[in-house]
Amino acid sequence: MSILICPVCGNPLSETPNQYRCPDGHCFDRAKSGYVNLLLSSGKHTKLPGDNKMMVASRKAFLDKGYYRPLADALCQAVLPLLPRVGGTLLDAGCGEGYYTQRLAEEAEAAGQQLAITGVDISKFALDKAARRRKDICFAAASVFHLPIATASYNLVTTLFAPWCGEEMIRVLKPGGWLAMVIPGPKHLWELKEAIYDQPYENEVRDYQLEGFAFQQRIPVEGEIFLDNNPDIQSLFQMTPYYYKTSAEGQQRAAALKELTTRIQFEILLYTRNG
């Protein structure tokens, strides 16, 4: 029996090599890459919700070159010690194309830590990439606002740059479980913004307090990255929301960049679930 539940009736899903099935007979096939689509048509606002094919491909190309490896390393160092060595469970809510999910699995494995990981994202393009990274991770297409996850299933939830639904995070976490949230800092990618915008703006950092959670720690991750070619600059630009908020003139500026040095600035925020 998996941790996943049927999005139609809420009953537990049993896993087979090719599909998931609930006692009421609702069946959900695995895609060729290995993920299962549990996103009902009633839960979609568009035909293809979430990150599109270009954004996903750009993000995978950029992340696989290791530019954000410092964040991945800091995340693993921060959260893996919080998990029990035997029987730990982790949900990556809004896992995207699976780069950080994969790194968490690799580091847990290297430490001899038993860890069952589930990755959920609303984008089927992202899930297809994620499922090809690790066949031993359960990946499901679903919304973080309606997780097809059994209540109180996870020791830890990670959410990186993803939409926030506190009620669902509280529901799927075990009492006393941990939440790790990653957000961009105010000056993240500042030099990229200077290059493409006439008036660059800082990222807004919201209040750290979350209803239902006790704030425990802020871990800053800062540095600089140097991109020595335009394809990597374009991948960085196109994987961010900035691309869709940029004028044609700004996009032309990005296309003309031969190299770029820009700061990276992240915040890892750790919480425990109240109750």
Which domains are delineated in the chain? 31-273 (3.40.50.150)
Residue 50: per-residue pLDDT:
73
Q: For residue 242, is pLDDT > 90?
A: no
Q: For residue 47, is pLDDT > 80?
A: no
Mean pLDDT of 125-140: 95
pLDDT greater at residue 49 or residue 81: 81
Alpha helices in 112-165 (DSSP H): 124-133
Degrees, nearest 5: CA angle 89-112-66 = 80
State what percent of residues in the chain have pLDDT above 70: 96
From 223, 219, 225, select the one nearest 267 (Cα to Cα). 219
Residue 27: per-residue pLDDT:
94
Residue 35: per-residue pLDDT:
95
User: SS3 for 66-86, per residue?
Assistant: CCCHHHHHHHHHHHHHHCCCC
Residue 210: per-residue pLDDT:
95
**Average pLDDT across the chain, whole number:** 92
Mean pLDDT of 240-258: 89
Residue 208: per-residue pLDDT:
93
Residue 46: per-residue pLDDT:
55
Mean pLDDT of 27-55: 81
Residue 100: per-residue pLDDT:
98
Q: For residue 1, is pLDDT > 60?
A: no
For 167-225, write each residue's pLDDT tens digit: 999 999 999 999 999 999 999 999 999 999 988 989 988 889 999 999 999 999 999 99
Alpha helices in the chain (DSSP H): 53-63, 69-79, 99-110, 124-133, 166-172, 190-196, 230-238, 248-256
For 104-126, write each residue's pLDDT tens digit: 999 999 999 999 999 999 999 99
Mean pLDDT of 223-233: 97
How sure is the predictor about 275, in pLDDT bands with cuts at 50, 70 and 90?
Answer: confident
pTM for the structure as a whole: 0.93
Distance CA 254, CA 192 (A): 8
